[in-house]
């Protein structure tokens, strides 16, 4: 996608927000558990091995970067995010977990502050959808990859088949659909992610669509609150409803999630797309 100044301004406003960053810190540990099957799908294509040097883009509060660090030790992982608040949080979790092979730094994927051929692997989970100039960012990824290196991206697949998204947004959408198309699903069309990787010059590109199970380790009320707090793009939409109507929507969300609650966790099936290419 070409550079879009409006998208850039929107993404910066949403993800540099202190409340959003604080929410990701608050929900970090349970979110790691929630997304573990996404990480497994991403890292299955990353060809990780001890000693490798990995760059994790849009790494947020450190997931999946901290898991990658465990897998490549004594190799190094550089976790980046363009929100400095997120970077500080990731640095704190790395210290808490005793991981000494992790560096956390603020970086914009469109202008990476690293020399050419600096990394064996680049990973990005649920981040490329928010790049406002994907061609430029992918060129930067290729630049910092070593010859023979590999880049792996994970995005959401079809929103219609995503139980999680359908349950947490459905009650709102049936009353008033959100304006425009959500960036979260900008790569949901089969072939789009792989096509952009090929256009950027990556070799041996593969694209895999699969459905995985994510499972929230807590109550329906907690999962709704987590989603409301961390979902920067959707929070204004949720808040656009009047008090009474919003309360009705939230009650329906929680009731829908309760139908999947097994008393301990909330398992949900979601489609994802993984795209990978070599340098």
pTM: 0.95
* Residue 97 lies inside a defined structural domain of this protein: yes
- Here the contacts of 97-101 (C-beta below 8 Å, separation 24 or greater) are 97/66, 99/66, 99/69, 99/70, 101/69, 101/72, 101/73, 101/74, 101/75, 101/76, 101/77
pLDDT at residue 222 greater than cutoff 80: yes
Give the pLDDT band (50/70/90) at residue 58. very high
Instruction: Look over the chain and give the mean of its residue pLDDT values, rounded to a whole number.
Output: 96
Phi, psi of 68 (to 5 degrees): -60, -40
Question: Is it the case that residue 60 has pLDDT exceeding 70?
Answer: yes
Q: How many domains does the chain have?
A: 1
Over residues 197-217, the mean pLDDT reads: 98
Q: What pLDDT, on a 0 to 100 scale, did the predictor assign at position 94?
A: 98
Residue 11 lies in domain: 5-158+181-213+270-278
pLDDT digits (tens, 9 = 90+) for 161-202: 999 999 999 999 999 998 876 789 999 999 999 999 999 999
Tell me what pLDDT residue 3 has.
66
For residue 66, count other CB atoms closer than 10 A to its CB. 23
The stretch 80-98 carries a mean pLDDT of: 97
Q: How confident is residue 2, by pLDDT bands cut at 50, 70 and 90? A: low
Structure tokens at 46: 């990353």
- Is residue 163 a part of any domain in this protein? no
pLDDT at 43 over 60: yes
Establish if 219 belongs to a structural domain: no
**Does residue 29 sit within a domain?**
yes
Position 226 in a domain: no
- The pLDDT of residue 188 is 96
pLDDT at 249 over 90: yes
Cβ contacts of residue 187 below 8 Å, gap of 6+? 128, 129, 155, 156, 193, 196, 273
Cα–Cα nearest to 55, from 32, 81, 74, 34: 81
CA separation, residue 245 to residues 125, 225, 239 (Å): 34, 17, 10
Distance between CA atoms of residues 20 and 81, nearest Å: 14
pLDDT at residue 7, as a whole number: 86
Q: Per the domain annotation, does 261 fall within a domain?
A: no
Q: CA 57, 22, 180: angle at the middle one, nearest 5?
A: 65
Q: How confident is the model at residue 1 (pLDDT cuts 50, 70, 90)?
A: very low
Looking at residue 90, which CATH number applies to its domain?
A: 3.40.50.150
Kindly state the average pLDDT of the residues 230-259. 96
* Average pLDDT of the segment spanning 82-104: 97
Could you write out the DSSP letters of every residue in 184-232? Answer: GGTT-STTHHHHHHHHTT-EEEEEEEEEEEEEESS-HHHHHHHHHHH-T
Q: What is the pLDDT of residue 163?
A: 97
pLDDT on residue 181: 65
Residue 6: per-residue pLDDT: 86
Asked if the structure places residue 18 within a domain, the reply is yes
How many Å is the maximal CA-CA distance in the chain?
Answer: 58
SS3 81: strand
137-149, pLDDT tens digit by residue? 999 999 999 999 9
Give the torsion through C-alpha atoms of 255, 41, 79, 5, to 10 deg: -70
d(CA 246, CA 52): 48
Residue 15 belongs to some domain of the structure: yes
């Amino acid at each position: 996608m070409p550079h879009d100044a409006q998208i850039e301004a929107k993404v910066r406003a949403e993800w540099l927000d202190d409340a959003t960053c604080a929410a990701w810190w608050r929900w970090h540990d349970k979110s790691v558990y929630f997304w573990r099957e996404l990480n497994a799908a991403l890292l299955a294509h990353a060809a990780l091995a001890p000693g490798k040097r990995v760059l994790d883009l849009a790494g947020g509060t450190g997931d999946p970067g901290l898991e990658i660090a465990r897998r490549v030790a004594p190799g190094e992982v550089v976790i980046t995010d363009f929100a400095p608040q997120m970077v500080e949080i990731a640095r704190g979790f790395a210290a808490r977990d005793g991981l000494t092979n992790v560096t956390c730094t603020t970086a914009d994927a469109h202008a990476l502050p690293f020399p050419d051929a600096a990394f064996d692997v680049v990973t990005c989970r649920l981040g490329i959808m928010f790049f406002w100039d994907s061609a430029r960012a992918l060129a930067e990824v290729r630049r910092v990859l070593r010859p023979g290196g590999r880049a792996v991206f994970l995005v959401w697949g079809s929103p219609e088949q995503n139980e999680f998204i359908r349950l947490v947004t459905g009650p709102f959408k049936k009353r008033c659909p959100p304006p425009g198309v959500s960036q979260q699903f900008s790569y949901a069309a089969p072939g789009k992610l792989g096509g952009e990787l090929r256009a950027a010059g990556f070799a041996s590109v593969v694209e895999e669509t699969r459905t995985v199970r994510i499972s929230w380790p807590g109550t329906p009320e907690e999962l709704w609150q987590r989603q409301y707090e961390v979902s920067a793009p959707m929070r204004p939409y949720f808040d656009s409803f009047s008090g009474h109507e919003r309360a009705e929507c939230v009650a329906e969300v929680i009731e829908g999630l309760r139908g999947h609650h097994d008393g301990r966790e909330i398992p949900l099936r979601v489609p994802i797309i993984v795209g990978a290419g070599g340098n």
